[in-house]
Amino acid sequence: MSRKPFIAGNWKLNNTIAEAEELIQALLPRVGAVEDVDVVVAPSYLSLAAVVDSARGSAVQVYAQNMHEKDSGAFTGEVSAPMLTEIDVHGVILGHSERRQFFGETDRALQLKVPRALEAGLIPILCVGETEEEREQGDTERRLRHQVQEGLEKVPVERLHEVVVAYEPVWAIGTGLSATAEQAQETCGFVRALVQGFDKEAGNAVRVLYGGSLKPENAAEILSQPDIDGALVGGASLDAESFAAIVEAARG
Ligand code: PEP
C-alpha cells in the first residue's frame, strides 16, 4: 500500500499577518512545487486568508488549527467549517493536545468535528497522544484506543481513509525530547491497527503522522518507519529552512 507522505507545519499562536506572509513567501520557493508530498501549513485564523491567497497556485495547502462542530450559532469566539471553506482552506487540525490540555477539547466534541470537517470538504488531522504519566503507568494503548475510537466513530466507513491521524506523545511536544524511531513506529502501528479495526482497507490507506520535537536532524529516521507517513511539526515549522529540510526528508 503506497501512501502519499504528508508534512504539516502547525504555526500555533505565532506570527502576525505580516510575519505569516513573510514565512509563506520564504517557504514557497523551497516547497511550493513539491508534488510527491502533501505539504501543509496551519497559520492562526487571522492569517489564514492571507496565506491561502499567497499559496494559491502552489502545491502548499493551508489548514486551520481548530474548528467548531456547529456551522453557526451562539458560540462566541468560535469558527465553523463553512467559514473556513469560504476562504478556500483545505483542512483542519482537530484535537491537538494543546486544545485538549488548555481549552477543554473533548473526545465527545471531536466525534462531531471530524465528520463535520469531511462533510464540508475539509481534510481533518485528528491528533491523539498520551501524557508522560499515562506512558509511565502503561496506559498508552488504552488512551489511544479511546481517542481514536471516539474521534472516528461517526465517520462513514467509506470516508475513513481520508482522515489523517497524528500520533503526538504529549511529553514530546515542544520539549525537544522526541520519541525514538522505534517508539514512534510501534505506536503509529498501533494507531493504524485501531483504524483497521473499523475497516481493514481504510486502516491500510489512512495516513498516520508522528509529531513531537521533529527536526531536520531526526526526521529521516522517523519518517522512514513503515507505519509513519509523515509528520505534524510545531517549532521547526516556523523556520522555512528547517521545514523545507523535513519535507525533503519525507521524499525519501
Ligand atoms: C505540535 O505542536 O504538533 C508539535 C509537534 O510541536 P513540536 O514539533 O514543537 O514538538
The string of pLDDT tens digits covering residues 21-42 is 999 999 999 999 999 999 999 9
Please name which of 183, 238, 232, 182 lies closest in space to residue 212, comparing C-alpha atoms: 232
Q: For this structure, is 136 an active site residue?
A: no
Distance CA(3)–CA(186), nearest Å, equals: 18
Q: For this structure, is 90 an active site residue?
A: no
Give the tens place of pLDDT for each residue, 37-89. 999 999 999 999 999 999 999 999 999 999 999 999 999 999 999 999 999 99
Distance CA(58)–CA(67), nearest Å, equals: 24
Q: Is the CB of 212 under 6 A from ligand 1?
A: yes
Q: How open is the CA angle 15-20-21, to the nearest 5 degrees?
A: 150
From atom 7 of ligand 1, which residue's Cα is the shortest distance away? 234
The answer to whether residue 1 scores a pLDDT higher than 80 is no
Q: Is the CB of 232 under 6 A from ligand 1?
A: yes
Distance CA(235)–CA(50), nearest Å, equals: 21
Q: Is the CB of 27 under 6 A from ligand 1?
A: no
Distance CA(42)–CA(76), nearest Å, equals: 22
Distance CA(62)–CA(140), nearest Å, equals: 31
Residue 57 has what pLDDT? 97
Any bridge partners for residue 69, and if so which?
none
Question: Are 147 and 95 in contact, with CB atoms under 8 Å apart?
Answer: yes
Distance CA(66)–CA(146), nearest Å, equals: 20
